[in-house]
Structure formats: C-alpha cells, structure tokens
Amino acid sequence: MYDILSQDVMYLHGVGPKRVKIFNKDLEIFSLRDLLYYFPYRYIDRSRIYQICELEEEMPYVQIRGQIKLMNEIGIGRKKRLEAIFDDGSGIIKLVWFGGINYVKKKLQLHTDYLVFGKPTVFNHEINVTQPEMTLLSKTPNIDSLTKLRPVYRLTESMKNSGITSGVIEQMERDVFAKLTNTHIPETLPESFCKKYDLMSLENALREIHFPSDMRMVELAERRLKFEELFYVQLDILNYADQRSKKYKGFVFSKIGDRFMTFYNEHLPFELTNAQKRVMKEIRRDLGSGLQMNRLLQGDVGSGKTIVALMTMLIALDNGYQACIMAPTEILAEQHFATVKRMLGDMDVRVELLTGVIQGKRRNKVLEGVTSGEVDILIGTHALLGDIVNFKNFGLAIIDEQHRFGVEQRAKLWKKNDSPPHILVMTATPIPRTLAMTVYGDLAVSVIDELPPGRKSVKTLHYYDDSEDKLVNLVRSEIEKGRQAYYVFPLIEESEKSDLLDLENGFKHICMLFPELKVAKLHGRMKEAEKNEVMDCFKRGEFHILVSTTVIEVGVDVPNASIMIVMNANRFGLAQLHQLRGRVGRGAQQSYCILQTGHKLSEVSVKRLETMVESTDGFYIAEEDLKLRGPGVLEGTQQSGVIFDMKIANVIKDNGLLIEARGAAMELLKTDPDRNLPANDVIWKQMLRKHKLTVDLSNIS
C-alpha cells in the first residue's frame, strides 16, 4: 500500500526549497509523517475577538479584527522598525515590527480585513502590539477554523527570520490532513489494545493534538501518543532482555565457601548496615539463579559500596571463578587495590593491580597470572579491557562509578568470555528508581539507602568571594584540629588553558594565605605516577591542603579530610557538587563544604546552591537536578539519548504513564511469548520499525 505520509514536505503548498531546507535542518522534518509528529507545545484560546477600545496593557495575547490604514518605516539601521496604524471601527492601535521588516512589508496589504493576534504592550503612553501574527481574511474563507483552540509550535531563529510562523506550520498540518481524504493514518496499536488501555485511535490523536476540539481532547490525545512512545521503548528493552536471558545461561555461584565465611567472620571491620545486608541478599539470589546477573548498585557517596563489591567477589572465588573491579581513574583503581588488600589482610587471595603505569616485567607477571588463573582478583582501569587481558575463568565484573564508562566499553568487557560474566555496576549518581529501570534498560536495581552509623552530615555553606577571611579562619581552625582540606577549582575540559591558570593562580594564592602549611596541587595534566604520589602523601597526612581540579571528584577516600572548598561553585552541576562534597564527612568528625562564588549569579545557580545547602540527600538532589536541567542532560546518561529524546513523553513528568506502559509491555511478552499471535501483528511489525532507534541502548550491559 502506498504510504502517503512518507511523501516529502516539499510537495505541500507554499513550501519552497528554502523552507524545506530549514525544516530538514532545524527540525529534522522530511516527510509528512515527520511533520505530523511535530507537536504544538501549547494552545491558545482564540474563540474571542476583542475590540480595540477594550484593550488594556495587562491583557495576555488577544485577537482583533480590522484593517491597516497606514504603514511607515521608522529609524535606520539596526533600530529600524515598521509601524502600521490598525483600525477596527472601535478605535485605532499601532502594530510594530522590529524583525523581518522587508518580508512583512511586502506581504501586508492596506484596507483589507486582517485578523491580528498578539500581546498588547504600552509604549509612550499608547497601546501597541509588537510582532503580531497577521491572517489575511480574504484568503481564509473559514474563519471558524481560526477562532478556536489554536496550536502554538516552537520556532527556531532561522524559521522566524524567514517568515515561518506558528500559523504557517498550522496551515501545513492542515494541508497534510487535507491530503488524507480517501485514506487513513495506519494504526500502530491493535484495537483491542487501545480499548484495554483506554487509548484513542492514532488518527484521532494526531488530529486532536493539532486541532483540538477542547482541552480535554488534548489530554486524551497526549495520553495516546505518550503511551505509544513509552510502550515501544519499554517493549524493546524488555524484549531484548528476555531474548538474552534465553540465549545465555549465567554461571551458577551456588556455594558460600571458605573465603567468604573467613572474611565475614574474621576480617569484616564493622557490622554491615541493614541496607548492605539487603543488597548482599539480592546479589546472592542473582548469582545462584542460573541467569546472568546485570545489577545496578546505587548508593550515595560514602554509603559503603566497596565492601559489597568485595564480598561479591569472594563469592565468585569460592565458586572457582576470577573477578575484576574496573574503576574510571588510576587513582581510584589504586585506592580500591589498597582497600581490598588491607581488608583481606592475610587471607589467601591473590589480588593484582593493572593500570597504564604498570609496565614491563611487572605487567607481564600480572597478565600471566590472570591467564593461568592464579590471580583471583584483578583491579584496574579500562586497561582491563585490552585484548591481552585473558582470564582463565572470568566469572564476575564489577564496574565502579559506571557513569564514566561508555556503552562500548561495557560491551567489550562482556565479550571477554563465551559466556558473559555476572556484572555489577556501582554508581553514586542517584537516579530515581523508575527512571533507572528505563535508563539502564534491563539492569536490576539495588539501593543502599542508609549511611554507616555515626556519620555526621556535612555542613554546607555558601560564601561569597569577598568573605575570604571567614573562610581562612574556618580552614585554619580545622587544620589546627589535625584535619585536612581540599580546595577544588572548576575544570570543564582538562585541556582548557585558562582553567589551568585559575588553578595555578589559586594555588599560589592559597600558599600565600597559609604560609605555615603544606599545600599540594593535583590536576589532570600531571603524569599518573605524579598524581598517585601526591594523593598518597595527602592520604598519609603529609600535606594539609590539596588544591585540585575535579580529578578528585569520584570516589577518593581520605577520612581525615574534613573541609572541602569548591571555588566558583556556580560553574559546577548539582551532581558534581554532590560528588565533591562526598569527599568529606567520611570520618566521625563534623565536616564542612564551602561553596564559594561571586555575587553575580544566575537564577539556576542560586537554586543549585540553595539545594546543596539545604540537603545532603543524593536522591533529593538528583531530582532537583532533573527539574532544573530537564532529563535530556542527566549527568552520566548521555549515551541513553533515546530514552530522553522522546517527541512527546517525558520520563520524569510522565512517570505514572511510563510505569503503565512498562506494565503493558510486560503483559504482552507474557501473553505472547513466541511473538506470533495475529492479534499483535501490528505491534511486532511496529517494533521492528522502531528497533533501530533503541538498539544502542539495549547493549548497555
């Protein structure tokens, strides 16, 4: 069947090559279908036509009907404007244009009826309407279609500059529907399905979203379109997970053996929190299930994920498998290595470190041990992904702070075996649970939602840069108590020279402020060995102050550090600030986080700083972050663009609908496990069509 909606938009009336180009480039609209899926973002009630004598300044957008009596260009150059005197019999008003003057002037006709739409404003004590939308009534026989709920479409700058108004798009949408007289828009969901989930037909939904009968119909149309969008993404994710679990059997770690028990009974330095115990149970259940584990472990900074990782690895060892931890930076890998070795003490477990700095003989020895199976636990950076790393019996991979790892890197790890290892992904970027399941596809989610006992929450203060004395006093008093301090400077790109200069100058300045103290400096451009050296010295307490870029953002654990000063804190995102703050408050003492900024702050910055001062709850902060930034830029999930790149649904705002759509997808897979019920034909076909969109996402684990 010929699909009329796949026609190019250039065949629409009044759409020349120049406009086609703009639609292609700015909105990725090529076909009529694309155009139909370009939805209005709001509606205006235009059922009323005002008289000019009724207009007042405070009115929102209004509509008047009358004629232009006179047009005048005023001013020169950039200040040029076009003024028109508009008369409706009840009074006169001035219409004013600042942009696109030539185009408007050419188009407008004197002494003919127009419907004018715009917002009244007062200028020089008289009411004007600036940049109004003008509709020539002689060209629009059906004025009724203009005076109801009208869609408003988003416009880009180049659209505005070439005279494409919201009204133009509206007319194009109308023209698409006009082409459909003898045919219907093909349904993408079965009728029975629509009934079951209370969804209107696709064609009605598309009609109502552009040309609504009333606001209630808009809501119903949105429900249908959002549901469909969410449903297909969820179906794809769940379908993929289902196929994979059928294809791959997971290793069964049935035993809790000597190593785990010895550690638990003799080496565990503290009692596990209830949350840690619960998570261990969830992990053990996965490991013994016969299915491959793909679990996301979320826990706020300092919640104690490392010990969970270690105990999980010991289970792997007890069952005869090797395990690895992959960390995003050398510093973190080193730190994990040190922690794991320290915790295991004299236990008979061979732990090795593999990073870029470990070379030559030492490297070869590690690699040999991995291949022969003598190395039980391998800890490293992405060096672990290299082809030369060949495990004898690879059973478990733990990925720390996963947001630094891209999708492809994880896929590489996965391919190291014929059978995929169990995978535990640990992250301190808290994501609301319902969101996590969509962002990370089929990863099961565990949450450590409890901090170890005795922690005092970090006191967070916002200081302006002119209260340096106060700051210096606070730092000095902490250091006099034997504590240490971090100063962090923003560094957006490690290569940005000016930022590095900030750090260098900052370092000099801080040395000057504290001439009696030992101050060290750390940044991403230093050699790995140098960085490690500085970090080790700081850990041993040989420096009082560490001046650093965000290289210390993730995971660094120096319990004696009790004060964190974030310079130009307005330049950091909320997630990053929360991570940075997590570097202090790791010991029993009261810790401080000082957010330092200048006085000139944007509204969003102020809100971010307030959020930080007000709360230390990572989940709350993550939600505020989403509200401030919108889900499209949720830190660490850039690779999951598909989820956020939806046309109409919003995974945050439409969370209820998301859960419903996910439920529908689960139900479908359950009732049609072989994917061959004729009733669902439409769905499976549609899924194949959409599949290419989400395939990247499903490869995440």
**Phi/psi of residue 597, nearest 5 degrees:** -145, 170
Residue that the structure tokens 């003898």 belong to = 182
| 209 C-beta neighbours (distance < 10 Å), count | 23
The answer to whether 591 contacts ligand ADP (rule: CB under 6 A) is: no
Can residue 582 be called a binding residue for Mg ion (CB under 5 A)? no
CA distance 303 to 45: 52
CA 62, CA 243: separation in Å to the nearest integer? 56
The least CB distance from residue 582 to ligand ADP, in Å, is: 6
Q: Which entry of Mg ion, ligand ADP, none binds 169, CB below 5 to 8 A by partner kind?
A: none
In sequence order, the 6+-apart residues with CB closer than 8 A to the CB of 167 are 133, 135
Q: List the one residue from 199, 279, 287, 301 that touches ligand ADP (CB under 6 A).
A: 301
Which residue, 343 or 601, is less far from ligand ADP as judged by CB?
343
Say whether residue 307 binds ligand ADP (CB under 6 A). yes
By CB under 6 A, residue 427 contacts ligand ADP = no
Q: Is 588 exposed, middle or buried (0-12, 13-18, 19+ CB in 10 A)?
A: exposed
> How far apart (Å, rounded) are the C-alpha atoms in residues 51 and 546?
69
Minimum CB separation of residue 16 from ligand ADP in Å reads 59
* Span of 144-152, 268-276, 610-618, 620-628 interacting with ligand ADP by CB under 6 A: 268-276
Per rule CB under 6 A, is residue 338 in the interface with ligand ADP? no
Phi, psi of 610 (to 5 degrees): -60, -45
Angle at Cα 446 formed by Cα 309 and Cα 660, nearest 5°? Answer: 155
Do the bridges between strand 545-548 and strand 484-488 make them parallel or antiparallel, or are there none, so unpaired?
parallel
**Nearest distance from residue 375's CB to ligand ADP, in Å?**
23
Among 136, 270, 386, 673, binds ligand ADP (CB under 6 A): 270
- Cβ contacts of 633 within 8 Å, gap of 6 or more: none
Q: Does 578 bind ligand ADP (CB under 6 A)?
A: no
Residue (269 or 656) nearer to ligand ADP, CB? 269
Tokens of 653: 């705002």
> What is the spatial distance between Cα 300 and Cα 430, in angstroms, rounded to a whole number?
7
Residue span binding ligand ADP (CB under 6 A) among the ranges 172-180, 272-280, 281-289, 437-445: 272-280
- Name the residue with the smallest CB distance to ligand ADP: 304
Judged by CB under 6 A, which of 356, 373, 406, 452 binds ligand ADP? Answer: 452
- d(C-alpha 483, C-alpha 569), whole Å: 22
> Is 288 among the residues that bind Mg ion (CB under 5 A)?
no
Contacts of 250 (CB under 8 A, 6+ apart): 286, 287, 289, 290, 291, 292, 293, 419, 420, 422
The binder of Mg ion chosen from 66, 555, 585, 631 (CB under 5 A): 555
CA distances to 45, 285, 352, 394, 452 from 319, in Å: 68, 15, 19, 11, 29
Site string for ligand ADP, 273-292 (x = CB under 6 A): x--x----------------
**In terms of CB distance, is 273 or 438 closer to Mg ion?**
273
Return the range that interacts with ligand ADP (CB under 6 A); candidates 138-146, 266-274, 413-421, 561-569: 266-274
Of residues 63, 234, 306, 698, which one binds ligand ADP by CB under 6 A?
306
Q: Which stretch binds ligand ADP (CB under 6 A): 151-159, 170-178, 298-306, 656-664?
A: 298-306
Nearer to Mg ion, 128 or 335 (CB): 335
Using the rule CB under 6 A, is 686 a contact of ligand ADP? no
Binding site for Mg ion (CB under 5 A): 555
Binding site for ligand ADP (CB under 6 A): 270, 272-273, 276, 299, 301-307, 428, 452, 557, 559, 586
